[in-house]
Structure 1
């Protein structure tokens, strides 16, 4: 069941990250999901290092760190994906 939650949360975080970032991120939905999951893992790691990974009640700081991680991963990954796609198109000619 935890994998199902990781997929759901990853998709939500990836979509939110794409909405927050300016411009168009031309990445497929599956990559949005992967970037969201990676951002969630990054946010969880940072929250653990800060000592706020598990608190009483709702872990707002951890959730914000997960979103920040997703924004960071999408901001780095979307241009990389675009350059990879452009590179593969030019080699096919």
Structure 2
């Protein structure tokens, strides 16, 4: 899959992760979708490390599941990092 495929896959996986992730999203849809691109790459690394298979064909179900899983992980980390700065001490 080429770079354009990675970007499209990540954008869609980021949108799906945003729909699945509970709670208020500190970033907009653009930030979430960009995090989805990073998550798709992370999902490929996770898949190759744990299962011996990475992100392959654009139309493969395991590709989509890995990309969405990676996007959920990146989005969860983003939620934790951004929510720390918004707490009010007192």
Larger Rg: 1
Aligned length: 86
Structure 1 position 82, deviation (Å):
4.4
- Where 1:25 maps in the other structure, the secondary structure is coil
Instruction: Name the residue aligned to 1:43.
Output: 43
Query: Quick one: distance in 2 between partners of 1:41 and 1:54?
Result: 8
**RMSD value, Cα:** 2.7
Q: Distance in 1 between matches of 2:53 and 2:15?
A: 24
Q: How far apart, CA to CA, are the structure 1 residues paired with 2:2 and 2:63?
A: 17
What's the TM-score once normalised by structure 1's chain length? 0.70
Match for residue 76 of structure 2?
Answer: 75
Which structure 2 residue ranges, 5 or more long, are not aligned? Answer: none
- The TM-score with structure 2 as length reference comes to 0.71
Deviation >6 Å, runs of 4+ = none
